Amino acid sequence: MERWATFDCYGTLVDWRAGIGGELARLFGDDRAAALLERYYAIEPDVQADGSLRYRDVLAETLRRVAGEAGLAIPAGEEGALGRSLPSWPVFPEAAASLAEARRCGWRLAILSNSDADLVEASIAAIGVPFDLYVVASEIGSYKPGLRHWQVFSERSGTTPAGHVHVAQSLFHDIGPASELGLASVWINRRDEGPGPVPTRELPDLEALPGTLAELVPA
């Protein structure tokens, strides 16, 4: 049986908060960045809801709404700042080694992302570990927590739930849907968040992931 580990990318492998927070600080000042980031986090799912926008456009529209709500003007020419910056968002320091070890142990790797193909490809290059496939929102017309990412992944990979573990930081976008589908899941709780949808396992980062995957689906 093939064993597949699927991953959310931004927040799990790549530091979404540092990437967006850094741009908010650059555009509006360090003193405003933290509060604006929390509003961004709350508003973005509403922008994604109809599934019709590319992720670049989601980033731009959410930035517009966040700035408007705060009474701030986006500097001229910076409307697309978040999308332009995404390829440089930092990779979490333990991600590459953990993914490489999982591959060495026979796991196939995939990304299920609320993003665009070229942005995910840039992040995969930054991570430095190959993935066997990816499914992105812009090509399927759906954003998580909708179930379409997992349905397309299943069609493309041919895997079954018995050989599939989903790994992610977001309870809302990922762990809840994975549980609904009956999949084993690993919640990467980087921010020591409170309870929500119940994962199969919980880790503070990716360092212990290869061993956890082996426990969930032995070779």
Catalytic residues: 8
What SS3 state is found at 189? coil
Is residue 203 a contact partner of residue 189, using CB atoms and an 8 Å limit?
yes
Is residue 127 a contact partner of residue 146, using CB atoms and an 8 Å limit?
no
Report the 3 state secondary structure along 122-173: HHHHHHCCCCCEEEEHHHHCCCCCCCHHHHHHHHHHCCCHHHEEEEECCHHH
Q: For the residues of 16-34, what is the DSSP string, one character each?
A: HHHHHHHHHHHHH-HHHHH
Distance CA 179, CA 189 (A): 16
Measured between its terminal Cα atoms, the distance across the chain in Å is 8
